[in-house]
Chains A and B, each alone.
Chain A
Amino acid sequence: MTLAPPRTATAASITDGVKTYGRGDSAVHALDGVSVDFERGAFTAIMGPSGSGKSTLLHTLAGLDALSSGSVRIGNTDLGSLNDRQLTMLRRKSVGFIFQSFNLIPTLTAEENIKLPLTIAGDSADEEWFQTIVGTVGLDDRLTHRPSELSGGQQQRVAAARALVSRPDIIFADEPSGNLDSTSGAELLGFMRRAVREFDQTIVMVTHDPVAAGYADRVVFLADGSVVDEMHEPTPERVLDRMKNLGG
Chain B
Amino acid sequence: MFTTALKGVLAHRVRLAMTALAIVLGVAFVSGTFVFTDTINARFETLFTDVYAGVDASVRPETPEFGAQPGQNPGSFDESLLADVSAVQGVSVAEGSVAGFAQIIAPNGDPIGGQGPPTLGFSWIDTAALSSVNIADGNGRAPEGPGEVVIDVGTAEGNDLSVGDEVGIQTLGGTETFEIVGLANFGTEDNLAGATLSIFSLDEGQRLFGLEGRLTAIDVLGADAVTPEALVEAIAPILPEGSEVVTGDQQTQEQLASITEGLGFLSAALLAFAGIAVFVGAFVIQNTFRIVVAQRIRELALFRAVGATGRQLVSLVTMEALIVGTAASIVGVFAGIGVATGIKAAMNAGGFGLPDGPLTVEPRTVIVGLAVGIVVTLVSALLPARRAATVPPVAAMTESAAPATGRSLRRRSLGGTLTLLIGGAMLAGGLVAENGASLTLVALGSLTLFIGVSVLAPVFAIPIARVLGRPLPGITGDLARENTIRQPRRTASTAAALMIGVALVSFVSIFAASIKATVSDTLEGAFPADLAFQSTNFTSGVSPELEAELEALDEFDIVSAVRAGYIRIDGEELNVAGVDGDVEAVYDMTPSIDVADLGDGMLVAQSVLSERGWQVGDIVDVEYAATGIVPTAIAGTFEDQTFANYIVSLDTYGANFSNESIIIAFASLSDGVAVEAGQQAAETVLASFPNLDMNTASEQIADAEAQVDQLVALFSGLLGLAVVIAVIGIANTLSLSIVERTREIGLLRAVGMTRRQIRRMVRWEAIIVAVFGALLGVLVGSGIGWATVFSLADDGLGTFAFPVGQLVIWLALAAVAGVVAAAGPARTAAKMNVLEAISYE
Chain A residues with CB under 8 Å of chain B are 59, 62, 64-65, 84-85, 88-89, 91-93, 97, 99, 102-108, 112, 116-117, 119-122, 162
Kindly state the separation between the CA atoms of A89 and B838 in the bound complex, as whole angstroms: 18
Kindly state the separation between the CA atoms of A105 and B752 in the bound complex, as whole angstroms: 14
Q: A97-B750, A107-B479, A117-B751 are in contact. List 7 more A-B contacts (CB 8 A).
A: A64-B838, A92-B752, A93-B752, A102-B838, A105-B744, A106-B486, A120-B757
B753 and A88 contact, CB distance less than 8 A: yes
Instruction: Give the residues in chain B near A104, CB-CB below 8 Å.
Output: 747
B752 and A103 contact, CB distance less than 8 A: no
Given A65-B835, A105-B744, A107-B486: A88 and B479 interface contact (C-beta under 8 Å)? no
Instruction: Give the residues in chain A near B747, CB-CB below 8 Å.
Output: 99, 102-105
Kindly state the separation between the CA atoms of A16 and B398 in the bound complex, as whole angstroms: 43
Instruction: Give the residues in chain B near A93, CB-CB below 8 Å.
Output: 752
Instruction: Give the residues in chain A near B834, CB-CB below 8 Å.
Output: 64
**CB of B709 closer than 8 Å to a CB of A:** no
Given A64-B834, A119-B475: A107 and B751 interface contact (C-beta under 8 Å)? no
Taking CB atoms and an 8 Å cut-off, the chain B residues in 749-781 that contact chain A are 749-755, 757
Instruction: Give the residues in chain B near A102, CB-CB below 8 Å.
Output: 743-744, 747, 838
Q: In the assembled complex, how far is the CB of residue B583 from the closest CB belonging to chain A, in whole angstroms?
A: 71
* 12 contacting pairs across A/B (C-beta < 8 A): A64-B750, A65-B835, A88-B749, A88-B755, A92-B753, A107-B479, A107-B482, A116-B751, A117-B751, A120-B751, A120-B752, A122-B474
Kindly state the separation between the CA atoms of A117 and B838 in the bound complex, as whole angstroms: 17
Chain B residues with CB under 8 Å of chain A are 474-475, 478-479, 482-483, 485-486, 743-744, 747-755, 757, 834-835, 838
B752 and A107 contact, CB distance less than 8 A: no
A91 and B755 contact, CB distance less than 8 A: no
Given A85-B754, A89-B752: A99 and B838 interface contact (C-beta under 8 Å)? yes
Instruction: Give the residues in chain B near A103, CB-CB below 8 Å.
Output: 747
B482 and A108 contact, CB distance less than 8 A: yes
Q: In the assembled complex, how far is the CB of residue B371 from the closest CB belonging to chain A, in whole angstroms?
A: 43
Q: In the assembled complex, how far is the CB of residue B754 from the closest CB belonging to chain A, in whole angstroms?
A: 5
B475 and A120 contact, CB distance less than 8 A: yes
A117 and B752 contact, CB distance less than 8 A: yes
Q: Tell me the number of A-to-B contacts counted with CB atoms below 8 Å.
A: 67
Q: Residue of A at shortest CB range from B482?
A: A107
Instruction: Give the residues in chain A near B748, CB-CB below 8 Å.
Output: 105, 116, 120
A59 and B835 contact, CB distance less than 8 A: yes
Kindly state the separation between the CA atoms of A95 and B486 in the bound complex, as whole angstroms: 30
Kindly state the separation between the CA atoms of A154 and B478 in the bound complex, as whole angstroms: 23
Q: In the assembled complex, how far is the CB of residue A23 from the closest CB belonging to chain B, in whole angstroms?
A: 19
Q: Residue of A at shortest CB range from B473?
A: A122
Q: In the assembled complex, how far is the CB of residue A46 from the closest CB belonging to chain B, in whole angstroms?
A: 17
Q: Residue of B at shortest CB range from A94?
A: B752
Kindly state the separation between the CA atoms of A77 and B744 in the bound complex, as whole angstroms: 28
Q: In the assembled complex, how far is the CB of residue A104 from the closest CB belonging to chain B, in whole angstroms?
A: 8
Q: Residue of A at shortest CB range from B755?
A: A84
Q: In the assembled complex, how far is the CB of residue A128 from the closest CB belonging to chain B, in whole angstroms?
A: 22
Q: Residue of A at shortest CB range from B400?
A: A148
Given A119-B475, A120-B757: A106 and B752 interface contact (C-beta under 8 Å)? no
Kindly state the separation between the CA atoms of A97 and B749 in the bound complex, as whole angstroms: 11
A65, A85, A112, A116: which has the most chain B beta carbons within 10 Å?
Answer: A116
Instruction: Give the residues in chain B near A91, CB-CB below 8 Å.
Output: 750-752
Kindly state the separation between the CA atoms of A242 and B798 in the bound complex, as whole angstroms: 93
B743 and A116 contact, CB distance less than 8 A: no
Q: Which residue of the partner chain, among A84, A108, A121, contacts B752 with CB atoms under 8 Å?
A: A121
Q: In the assembled complex, how far is the CB of residue A115 from the closest CB belonging to chain B, in whole angstroms?
A: 9
Kindly state the separation between the CA atoms of A85 and B479 in the bound complex, as whole angstroms: 21
Q: In the assembled complex, how far is the CB of residue A139 from the closest CB belonging to chain B, in whole angstroms?
A: 18
Q: Residue of B at shortest CB range from A165?
A: B751
A65, A88, A89, A106: which has the most chain B beta carbons within 10 Å?
Answer: A88
Kindly state the separation between the CA atoms of A121 and B752 in the bound complex, as whole angstroms: 8
A106 and B744 contact, CB distance less than 8 A: yes
Kindly state the separation between the CA atoms of A106 and B479 in the bound complex, as whole angstroms: 10
Instruction: Give the residues in chain B near A116, CB-CB below 8 Å.
Output: 475, 748, 751
Instruction: Give the residues in chain A near B486, CB-CB below 8 Å.
Output: 106-107
Instruction: Give the residues in chain A near B835, CB-CB below 8 Å.
Output: 59, 64-65
Instruction: Give the residues in chain A near B483, CB-CB below 8 Å.
Output: 107
Kindly state the separation between the CA atoms of A119 and B482 in the bound complex, as whole angstroms: 15
Nearest first, the 9 closest Cβ-Cβ pairs linking A and B are A92-B752, A107-B482, A119-B475, A91-B752, A117-B751, A102-B743, A64-B835, A88-B754, A120-B753
Instruction: Give the residues in chain A near B753, CB-CB below 8 Å.
Output: 88, 92, 120
Kindly state the separation between the CA atoms of A54 and B486 in the bound complex, as whole angstroms: 36
Instruction: Give the residues in chain B near A99, CB-CB below 8 Å.
Output: 747, 750, 838
Kindly state the separation between the CA atoms of A116 and B748 in the bound complex, as whole angstroms: 8
